Amino acid sequence: MAQTSAKLKVGLMLPYTGTYASLGNAIENGFRLYLAEKGGKLSGREIEFIKVDDESDPSKATDNVNKLIKRDNVDVLVGTVHSGVAMAMAKVAKDTGTILIVPNAGADVVTGAMCAPNIFRSSFTNWQPGYAMGEVVAKKGHKKVVTITWKYAAGDESVNGFKESFEKAGGKVVKELTLPFPNVEFQALLTEIAATKPDAVYTFFSGGGAVKFVKDYAAAGLKKSIPLYGPGFLTDGTLEAQGAAAEGLLTTLHYADSLGTARDNAFRLAYAKTYKLQPDVFAVQGYDAAQMLGIGLAAVKGDISKRAGFVSAIEKAKIDSPRGAFTLSKSHNPVQDIYLRQVVGNENRFVSVISKALADPARGCKM
Ligand code: BEZ
């Protein structure tokens, strides 16, 4: 019988160093903001954080997550950003039955073939914004596209999502360029893009790598001649560093800086006051991970050992997110609106809802 007055141990496994460090920090900020709004407790339980810097390194992931479960005895795992690390976390969570809430990593398989009653995601699948963007690029009349990304699950799956809808609409991906994560030596690949002369480029990069890619793309003179598109990770949390190189870029994502709803305005104000920073999609996903934990705990009065009640409360919930309310699919992934956004100054400005209540196909999930 769990002690419902004891602190609830949350294992926060996120990148705090490397190209995704700013994403990890934003997720933690968002999580802590929700907790602070609830007076520092969820269903009467104080939260004790046990933090691990996962360095976005899949080779260290299994050890890291095992330590959190076996040495630190965490009640809940929250993590992470990188799809490769998240797949290792999901495997251990599935094997041990530990509750896992994924606040970013989009690895399709986490809510696909690896889906499990104890695994939830507050973010997206890599397929979702990619698929939405394929339709946008096709509607713009582009026929021939080159893709460029890091060679790992997030890049591959983002490109696959894009390709699925773009080619269904009559377009053709003529070249798929990749480089190993987290390399940022883009020059040779940019030269290859220039030589190929596609109608447009689709790209997945995020964090520090996205800053460098967008700047290098513009500096190579490609921005004027070959329009660049991508999921919104390309320009979220990066605009100050990207400057004029990002101006005008169109991206697709489940969040935008100018939604203008009362819910989002309140969130943005509270976040800016607390951290002296503007929130981004990663902060929203961290905030919503905390909300989901709060919803589950409320249903079992803080006793997380009452697993069935905890799980079914989150499954049934409508999560009141700053992005817009969302529900979870059967495989525990957000069913959510995907927005088209355009960079205007330091803002990813809302343009339109491009896919209403888009659900990931959850291929291979049996639950
Ligand atoms: C991923 O690895 O799944 C990922 C990383 C950064 C932004 C979006 C997705």
Question: What band does 3 get if pLDDT is binned at 50, 70 and 90?
Answer: low
What is the distance between the terminal CA atoms of the chain, rounded to a whole angstrom? Answer: 27
Tokens representing 222? 């490609």
By the 8 A CB rule, do 169 and 134 touch?
Answer: yes
pTM across the whole model = 0.98
% of residues, the chain, pLDDT over 70: 99
Q: Which atom of ligand 1 is nearest to the CA of 152?
A: 2
Tokens representing 115? 């889906």
% of residues, the chain, pLDDT over 90: 98
Please report the pLDDT score of residue 74 as a whole number. 98
What is the best residue among 83, 109, 121, 158 to mutate for testing ligand 1's pocket, by most ligand atoms within 8 Å of CB? 83
Gap between the Cα atoms of 290 and 305, Å rounded: 18
User: What is the Rg, in whole angstroms, of the alpha carbon atoms belonging to the chain?
Assistant: 20
What is the best residue among 206, 236, 285 to mutate for testing ligand 1's pocket, by most ligand atoms within 8 Å of CB? 206
Ligand 1 close to Cβ of residue 82 (< 6 A): yes
Gap between the Cα atoms of 358 and 323, Å rounded: 14
CA 233 to centroid of ligand 1, rounded, Å: 8
Gap between the Cα atoms of 84 and 76, Å rounded: 20
CA 250 to centroid of ligand 1, rounded, Å: 18
Strands 8-14 and 45-53: parallel
Question: What band does 1 get if pLDDT is binned at 50, 70 and 90?
Answer: very low
Residue 365 reports pLDDT greater than 60: yes
The closest alpha carbon to 233, from 223, 246, 220, belongs to: 246
Please report the pLDDT score of residue 5 as a whole number. 78
Q: Which atom of ligand 1 is nearest to the CA of 20?
A: 6
CA 20 to centroid of ligand 1, rounded, Å: 9
Tokens representing 284? 């929203």
For the residues 224-232, what does the mean pLDDT come to? 98
The closest alpha carbon to 333, from 132, 161, 13, 112, belongs to: 112
